[in-house]
Structure 1
Amino acid sequence: MSTTGESDTIATPDAETPVSTSTNRRQPYGQGFLDTISEGWAERPDTAPPARAQAAYTAARRDAVSAAFPGKRLVLPAGELKQRSNDTDYPFRAHSAFSHLTGWASDAEPGSVLVFEPRAAGGHDVTLYFRERADRTTAEFYSDASIGEFWIGPRPALSGVAADLGLATAHIDGLELHDDDLVLDENDDLTRFVSELRLVKDAYEVAQMKLAIDVTAAGFDDIVAHLPEVVAHPRGERIVEGVFHQRARSDGNAVGYDTIAASGPHACYLHWTRNDGAVVPGDLMLIDAGAEVDSLYTADITRTLPVSGRFTDIQRRIYETVREAADAAFAAAKPGVRFRSVHEAAMQVIATRVAEWGLLPVTAQEALDADAGGHHRRYMVHGTSHHLGIDVHDCAQARRDMYYDGLLEAGMVFTIEPGLYFQIDDVTVPEEYRGIGVRIEDDILMTADGPVNLSAGIPRTADEVEAWIARLSA
């Protein structure tokens, strides 16, 4: 049975004939059903919940948006359900800016809209519009599989959401749009501002990031503990993905992005999410995974494991070089330095080491030349860091001079994730390097006193990783 997008052929009390539909899966309701479906239901409690923990923080964020757009009417939709196939939809996830400004996260309603209505005296009245639950006397209750509570379960009431989020609420039917509205993802200024608003996290956001990392750390432990099962299955990468997904769903909301479970040569494909390969002893397995918690904040962590439990000499050399680059990037991250300095510090290590191994046609210094160099980037084509938060690649619409060329500030959360990737058919490297891919990724909080590695509790050094596997997968 599909769970969304279906509306059975019905006969309604105020219609003499059933509503026709274009599908042959739907059956008409008999008159006995129609006569009794609205009866025999217990009264619903209508008690208002206390405001959720982030309500004070979301109010402050909305105040910042209001101050930035005086006299402008702002419209921020949560988004709609997206079709997966025929009459099934993907799980709904509200727009990140909408959730950031409302606090409505994994429980947000599709089709909701946050509106900032300018006041003549200044400031804005902010209202959250959404479709309130239908009374059980209406046909919607039993006939509409997208929004009917008989199909999807209880939906929230306007009064309950207002108390929960500390926001005025209204039915979506009362929303009118104007030609001069500034609409999220249509107006560049609004889209940019709400993205840049997330560059510095508040105390609630930092706590949620720590929670997401804790769940992710438990998921990595689960993977290591299941290594024998992973190796035994012909598509062991799928087992890795499934094990992590179970932890993300049981202790959080979902995965924050598609898990990368890349073993052997697959580890050299930066966004390998097919996850259909075997996990073979003697190879390395790169796992890039993050749990998203109910507030929608996500971790983003990568560890690279020797499947047999111990690194070979060449694997250890490559692995420890990547860790050296990560540690150099961490050391370079300080309040007041440019964000791009983190990447530059990692690249200094990568270029130096691959030059020492004889893999470059030029010196490391020549490779690091911004205009004429870049030879080392063949083996690490991606950047070292990105902002992290309610999106895995958070603040993506921020201006370059606020992001890549911006200064690090206390409250920023970002990744450090250097890597080395020697593709299986890359004849520029010795044969023993080919098919080895390594990445180490940690989630970093900048404080006034310097960076803090929030994911440092997940084993990082080659020795720690070997001991981790020995402890959990025996």
Structure 2
Amino acid sequence: MFSAATYTERRRQLASALPSGLIFLPGNGEAPMNYTDNVYPFRQDSNFRYFAGHNLPDLALTIDAGTGASRLWGNDISLDHVVWMGEQPSVADLAADCGAERGGTLDELSALLKKHATEVHFLPPYRADRKLYLAEHLGAAAGASEALVRAVIAQRSVKSSAELDEMELAVTTSLRMHAAAEAHAAPGQLEAEVAGLIEGIAISAGGRLSYPAIVTRNGHVLHNHYHGNVLRPGDLLLIDAGAETPSGYAGDLTRTFAVGKPMTEQQREIYDLVHATRIASIAALRPGITYRAVHDAAGRQIAAGLKDLGLMQGDPAEAAAAGAHALFMPHGLGHMIGLDVHDIEDLGEDLVGYDENHRRSTQFGTRSLRLGKELREGYVLTVEPGIYFIPALIDRWRAEGTCAAFINFAALEAYRDFGGIRLEDNVAITEQGHRVLGA
């Protein structure tokens, strides 16, 4: 946790953004795996954690938008729970730790919410039990507060120096994970052995993985969480994995390397193109530039590089404008990152990544860009270009003649079993430009 003064100031800033009403930020409870007492590893709601700090279940925070008064609500544990869990801090102690007043029990909070239901501001729920709770206490027709959503997004998007320090820790641990994976991976191993190694490093650093790791020899499957393949000599192993710090901040890095032997010339050519695109994209980052512009430039660079390799043809700028490069990179260049690996997107992806002046594209590939608006000092984002050879997508485009003027489909036959390469870093936007996090 940060200091109590940090959370007090965050809540003061949030309260000042709304004219009146009661801001209600419920925390998560435990989630059973298969019976009540066998639960998944606990992860507190990020919005609650941002304003209250604690990573403990069954707590709630209220903020009076008019007065700024904050109260932490929860039940002190019973002696029976002490037997199983040991001594735990009281709710009064937890409230003091984050600079809030002690509210009442959760039953008392329920009564308060029902009494002031029409005056309560809350964020969109993403868990079924939260939806049921809100319907019961605030009415079936109750809707999330747009004013609160926009205020939280604006506040959480800009990272403080203390938050950046935490994100440096997250990326430092993430880099250790990737370095260990590259040193350890060898032909004959299961992908699962590498996945287990990197998760152990994340846990040993006091946190956990910030999202389920992608560790795969089939890098062309973008979100491949299967770890059952045996690694073969020369396989490209794509690892997309990040650590979460004890304070909850996320790292999100991707590296790709060949297992057990140097890359082939074919692999190295594609790798070098992805690497050059990553370097150029990072170099372009600064306040005021739109991330859509950086994404588009990356598309042109990939199209030009693939033309040099004989895989694309025609004018690279025209090819990228037509979306032809998306056959090889069907995702966006990056997204915001912070307490969430896709930061604040539970409040609405378009509200986080776009605004009134910058709208999401409908074009295949570019429509998957999660961040398109102007960058500001204090934003932290991922830069993750990739090139993939996806047989099913290639076959569909060839059969339908999609972007046929720009794609050399005959040359792609030699890459049918290539897989994919992605390289990803986390970058903070500074007053003058940018700073890559980690070593």
Is residue 2:170 matched to residue 1:232?
Answer: no
Match of 1:168 in 2: 101
- For the residues of structure 1 that align with 2:386 and 2:422, how far apart are their CA atoms? 4
Answer yes or no: is the 8 Å Cα contact 1:57–1:202 preserved in 2. no
Q: Describe the shift of the 1:395–1:158 C-alpha distance in structure 2 as closer, same or farther (beyond 3 A).
A: closer
Match of 1:47 in 2: none
* Matched residue SS, 2:28: coil
Answer yes or no: is the 8 Å Cα contact 1:80–1:111 preserved in 2. yes
Q: Quick one: which of 102, 120, 123 aligns to 2:52? A: 102
Cα deviation for residue 392 of structure 1 reads 0.3
Q: Please show how residues 66-77 of structure 1 align to structure 2 within 5 Å.
A: 66-77=15-26
- For the residues of structure 1 that align with 2:419 and 2:7, how far apart are their CA atoms? 45
Match of 2:177 in 1: 219
Match of 1:191 in 2: 149
State the number of aligned residues: 379
- For the residues of structure 2 that align with 1:232 and 1:131, how far apart are their CA atoms? 52
**Counterpart residue identity of residue 447, structure 1:** T
* Matched residue SS, 2:281: helix
Q: Please show how residues 444-459 of structure 1 align to structure 2 within 5 Å.
A: 444-455=427-438, 457=439
Cα deviation for residue 405 of structure 1 reads 4.2
Q: Quick one: which of 68, 72, 82 aligns to 1:128? A: 72
Is residue 2:416 matched to residue 1:416?
Answer: no
Answer yes or no: is the 8 Å Cα contact 1:342–1:385 preserved in 2. no
Match of 2:84 in 1: 151
Task: Describe the superposition over 1:341-381 as per-residue Cα deviations: whole angstroms up to 9, x where unpaired.
Answer: 22122112111122333333653222222xxx101101100
Q: Describe the shift of the 1:338–1:129 C-alpha distance in structure 2 as closer, same or farther (beyond 3 A).
A: same
Cα deviation for residue 89 of structure 1 reads 2.5
**Counterpart residue identity of residue 431, structure 1:** E
Is residue 2:22 matched to residue 1:55?
Answer: no
Task: Describe the superposition over 1:74-101 as per-residue Cα deviations: whole angstroms up to 9, x where unpaired.
Answer: 1011122223223332222111111011
Is residue 2:414 matched to residue 1:432?
Answer: yes
Task: Describe the superposition over 1:272-319 as per-residue Cα deviations: whole angstroms up to 9, x where unpaired.
Answer: 011211111111100000000111101000000111241110100000
* Matched residue SS, 1:249: helix
- For the residues of structure 2 that align with 1:288 and 1:375, how far apart are their CA atoms? 25
TM-score normalized by the length of structure 1: 0.76
* Matched residue SS, 2:156: coil
Aligned sequence identity (%): 33
* Matched residue SS, 1:268: coil
Match of 2:40 in 1: 90
Q: Please show how residues 250-269 of structure 1 align to structure 2 within 5 Å.
A: 250-263=204-217, 266-269=218-221
TM-score normalized by the length of structure 2: 0.82
Cα RMSD after superposing both structures: 1.9
**Counterpart residue identity of residue 199, structure 1:** S
Match of 1:32 in 2: none
- For the residues of structure 2 that align with 1:404 and 1:259, how far apart are their CA atoms? 22
Q: Describe the shift of the 1:188–1:90 C-alpha distance in structure 2 as closer, same or farther (beyond 3 A).
A: farther
- For the residues of structure 2 that align with 1:387 and 1:92, how far apart are their CA atoms? 23
Match of 2:426 in 1: 443
Answer yes or no: is the 8 Å Cα contact 2:18–2:147 preserved in 1. no
- For the residues of structure 2 that align with 1:406 and 1:72, how far apart are their CA atoms? 31
Query: More helix by proportion, 1 or 2?
Result: 2
Cα deviation for residue 255 of structure 1 reads 0.2
**Counterpart residue identity of residue 244, structure 2:** E
Answer yes or no: is the 8 Å Cα contact 1:77–1:184 preserved in 2. no
- For the residues of structure 1 that align with 2:87 and 2:123, how far apart are their CA atoms? 29
Task: Describe the superposition over 1:33-69 as per-residue Cα deviations: whole angstroms up to 9, x where unpaired.
Answer: xxxxxxxxxxxxxxxxxxx534322222211110111
* Matched residue SS, 2:117: coil
**Counterpart residue identity of residue 126, structure 1:** S
- For the residues of structure 2 that align with 1:156 and 1:334, how far apart are their CA atoms? 44
* Matched residue SS, 1:232: coil
Higher mean alpha-carbon deviation, 216-225 vs 352-361, is at: 352-361
- For the residues of structure 1 that align with 2:153 and 2:82, how far apart are their CA atoms? 34
Cα deviation for residue 327 of structure 1 reads 1.3
* Matched residue SS, 1:163: helix
**Structure 1 unaligned blocks of 5 or more:** 1-51, 142-147, 458-474
Answer yes or no: is the 8 Å Cα contact 1:54–1:103 preserved in 2. no
Answer yes or no: is the 8 Å Cα contact 1:315–1:436 preserved in 2. no
Q: Quick one: which of 275, 281, 305 aligns to 2:233? A: 281
